[in-house]
Structure 1
Amino acid sequence: MNTPRIQIFPTLQALTAAAIDTVLEQAAAAISKRGCFTIALAGGNTPKPLYEGLAKANTPWAQWQIFWGDERYVPHDHPDSNAGMAMATWLKHIDIPTANIHPMPTDEPDPAVAADRYEATLQQVLAPATGTIPSLDLILLGMGPDGHTASLFPHTAALQVRDRLVTVGDKDGQPRLTLTVPFINQARYILFLVTGANKQTALRHILSRTGDPHTYPAMLIEGQCTWFLDQAAAEGVVKQQGV
């Protein structure tokens, strides 16, 4: 595994400003090198100010391809939709081709069929070399107090999936769509945004590598990870674990 990079910020505002800079730096580098920037977005409350900040950024949006790391199985206009949140706070405010925005489909009676559709979309847009796993340039991730990330929840079948890019997650019996562990780990850059004192226990196990990854699924993410923590989340965690 790669050694995670950890940065601690005194406030959510400082964390958000650094995250905006990081996303735009990664975008500029990818566009310079490959002519395109591919990113998967996170849901939840923490990235909302990031998206609001990106809505004001000056970048060649036509060279961005926008995906999602996970999605609740609800229509995109539902208040719980990750795609809906990103559209409302960011994507509808910028000049980006509609064809460059790839929300996870949630209109199939069978979520497994929707997962197949999204996997096909990823394969088509990312166009990997034959026999290789495609790579996103950047995946944004959050983490819940239970240590889940994306829709990879503790002790669920999705944690075991190794032969797909997208699978069906399970949150208390409700289906979610989620990128899989190996596909997330393949990303060129993974940025965790974690805030709040209620994340301390999970962070302590994850960053010290002392926990059970099936109990704290974020431990399974071992790619090129950077963790942005606010002071409340990091309090007593980083110093005690020596990371």
Structure 2
Amino acid sequence: MADSSGEKRVVITSDATALADSVAERFLTRLAKKSASRDVHVALTGGVSGAAVLSAAAAHAPEHTIDWTRVHFWWSDERFVRRLHPERNERQGREALLDSLPGAQVHAAPASDEGLDLDEAAQAYAAELARYGTADQPGWPTFDISFLGVGPDGHIASLFPDRPEILVTDAAVVALRDSPKPPLQRLTFTRPVINSSQRVWLVLSGTDKASALGLALAGASYASVPAAGAKGTKRTVFFVDQDAAAQVPPELIDQDY
């Protein structure tokens, strides 16, 4: 199928296990290609789907030649808890994959036990992003891939429906003190950061995600369905299993990607 930046496409696999394996293989193949000549920036996500992809990547990584010293990992959102808290996305990512990678550059958001309050932590993570900005995009690096999970309510990162954070355009990172999903305190990339990524890959599995996926593909308001507003500058792909694909229009399915 012809490439058309901004168009949303859907790739369907049989089940959650096959989904994680498929996305991991695509991810590693792209990293091997890009890291051969330059630095690569990746935004990770937490949750079940994010952890499953990273675990699958760990299993397949030895099959690929990747210069991990050129790969920078970030998180599009983080729970503001202590550094070793089991719910912290960083901990899940390190245990699933990152701690096994030689020389990978991991840019973790500040934790609650490191002496910063929530607003200071948001400012610190934004400052770290800006260190890797460019003349054209000074506030943050250009992400080659941004992974996103999608909640049953359509949220991405910690951008939840009908809340002010999804509308912020003048900051790279914002703080939440009253997240509708625990823990209450979180940090999240804003929509401009996510949408400046070359490729946005949304990973969904399970019947409880079918409605959110259908609304995102149907062009719902991103203020009410944040997943509907996620898009990459080159590609926007929803990787889903059969259970999540119940409401996918046939014309959006792109099994060739």
Determine the C-alpha separation between the residues in 2 that align with 1:119 and 1:227.
27
| 1:60 to 2:67 alignment | yes
Correspondence for 1:185 among 190, 195, 199: 195
Task: Mark the runs of 5 or more structure 1 residues left unpaired by the alignment.
Answer: none
Q: Does 1:14 align with 2:18?
A: yes
Query: Which piece of structure 1 moves more, 132-141 or 190-199?
Result: 132-141
Question: 2:25–2:57: 8 Å Cα contact kept in structure 1?
Answer: no
Call closer, same or farther: CA 1:193–1:104 in 2, change over 3 Å: same
1:204 to 214, 217, 223: 214
Q: What is the match of residue 255 of structure 2? A: none
Does residue 220 in structure 1 map to residue 229 in structure 2?
yes
Given that residues 26 and 137 in structure 1 are in contact (C-alpha distance below 8 angstroms), is that contact kept between their aligned partners in structure 2? Answer: no
Q: Deviations over 1:27-52 (max 9, x none)?
A: 1333245x111111110011222212
2:109 alignment partner in structure 1: 104
- Residue type of the alignment partner of 1:185: N
Partner of 1:172: 180
1:172 CA displacement: 2.5
How many residue pairs were aligned? 236
4+ residue segments displaced more than 6 Å: none
SS in 2 for 1:238: coil
Q: Does 1:37 align with 2:73?
A: no
Instruction: Work out the CA distance in 1 between the residues paired with 2:7 and 2:55.
Output: 30
Counterpart of 2:244 in structure 1: which amino acid? Answer: A
Measure the CA separation in 2 of the matches of 1:12 and 1:131.
Answer: 36
Classify 1:199/1:28 alpha carbon distance in 2 versus 1 (closer, same or farther; 3 Å).
same
1:165 offset after TM fit, Å? 1.4
TM-score relative to the length of structure 1: 0.90
Aligned to 1:128, which of 131, 134, 144? 134
Corresponding position: 1:90 with 2:93: no
Q: Using the TM superposition, give the Cα deviation of residue 132 of structure 1 relative to its aligned residue in structure 2, in angstroms.
A: 4.7
User: Offset of 1:222 from its aligned partner?
Assistant: 2.6
C-alpha separation in 2, matches of 1:131 and 1:208: 30
Q: Partner amino acid for 2:231?
A: E
Alignment gaps of 5+ in structure 2: 253-257
Deviation for aligned residue 1:109: 4.6
In structure 2, how many angstroms separate the alpha carbons of the residues matched to 1:140 and 1:112? 25
Indicate the SS of the match to 1:95: coil
> Percent sequence identity over matched residues?
30
Give the AA of the match of 1:41: L
TM-score, normalised to structure 2's length?
0.85
Give the Cα separation in 2 of the matches to 1:75 and 1:239.
43
Identify which of 49, 68, 73 aligns with 2:80.
73
TM-superposed CA distance for 1:190, in Å, is 0.9
**Secondary structure at the counterpart of residue 228 of structure 1:** strand
Contact 1:37/1:63 (CA < 8 Å) preserved in 2?
yes
| Contact 2:142/2:197 (<8 A) preserved | yes
Pairwise CA RMSD = 1.9
**Cα 1:13–1:130, aligned 2, differ >3 Å: closer, same or farther?**
closer
Structure 2: which amino acid aligns with 1:190?
V
